[in-house]
């Protein structure tokens, strides 16, 4: 019986030492990770139109491949060109979805590549997410995500509002 008590007592300090070593290693290696800027919260508006659509019909669902062009306006008044490749789906239940990739190109040579996933009712507000995948120049090392609210005021025209939080490794 005394032997069991000893094993329990020696296991506790060993676990505490192991925990302290792991925390120390994580703290030490964090110094060598790429420096991230603090999370930047920003909002912008996008206006885009379909440059090309390819329809794939079936009895169950309508699928359109849509290549979009347009621009975005940041809160500070700067503009960027927008290019996207999306798959737009209408389900038999009447819901609409679009997923795909968006590239934002700024005049200073900076760029952002993002993935979007949006759904909602036809001819109504649709909501979803944006996830930043890659960036160049002032958006180098971009990481973060945001929310999207979009409307289609006319066939294949799209108005979008984005609220996003991201950090970069750009200096």
Nearest to 58 by CA among 100, 82, 90, 102: 90
Which has the higher per-residue pLDDT, 50 or 9?
Answer: 50
| Percentage of residues of the chain with pLDDT beyond 90 | 40
Query: Are the C-beta atoms of 111 and 139 separated by less than 8 Å?
Result: yes
What does the pLDDT read at residue 23?
Answer: 63
* Dihedral, 45, 51, 54, 55 alpha carbons, nearest 10: 60
CATH number of 40-167: 2.40.350.10
| Percentage of residues of the chain with pLDDT beyond 70 | 74
Which has the higher per-residue pLDDT, 17 or 47?
Answer: 47
Residue 56 pLDDT more than 80? no
Mean of the per-residue pLDDT values for the chain? 81
Band (pLDDT 50/70/90 cuts) for residue 156 is confident
Nearest to 90 by CA among 123, 46, 116: 123
Q: Cα–Cα distances in Å, from 74 out to 43, 84, 104, 128, 164? A: 7, 18, 11, 19, 11
What average pLDDT does range 39-62 have in this prediction?
80
147 forms beta bridges with 129, 163
Q: How far apart are alpha carbons 112 and 103 in whole angstroms?
A: 6
What does the pLDDT read at residue 92?
Answer: 78
The ranges assigned to domains in the chain are 1-33, 40-167
């Amino acid at each position: 019986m005394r032997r069991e008590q000893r094993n329990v007592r020696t296991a506790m300090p060993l676990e505490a030492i192991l925990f302290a070593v792991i925390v120390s290693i994580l703290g030490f290696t964090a110094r060598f990770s790429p420096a991230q800027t603090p999370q930047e919260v920003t909002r912008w508006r996008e206006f885009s139109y379909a440059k090309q659509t390819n329809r794939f019909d079936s009895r169950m669902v309508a699928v359109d491949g849509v290549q979009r062009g347009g621009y975005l306006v940041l809160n500070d008044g700067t503009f960027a060109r927008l290019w996207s490749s999306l798959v737009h789906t209408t389900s038999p239940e009447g819901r609409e979805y679009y997923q795909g990739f968006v590239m934002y190109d700024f005049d200073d040579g900076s760029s952002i590549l993002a993935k979007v996933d949006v759904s909602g009712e036809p001819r109504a507000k649709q909501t979803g997410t944006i996830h930043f995948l890659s960036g160049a120049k002032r958006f180098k090392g971009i990481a973060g995500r945001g929310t999207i609210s979009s409307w289609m005021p006319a066939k294949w025209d799209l108005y979008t509002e984005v609220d996003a939080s991201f950090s970069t490794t750009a200096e």
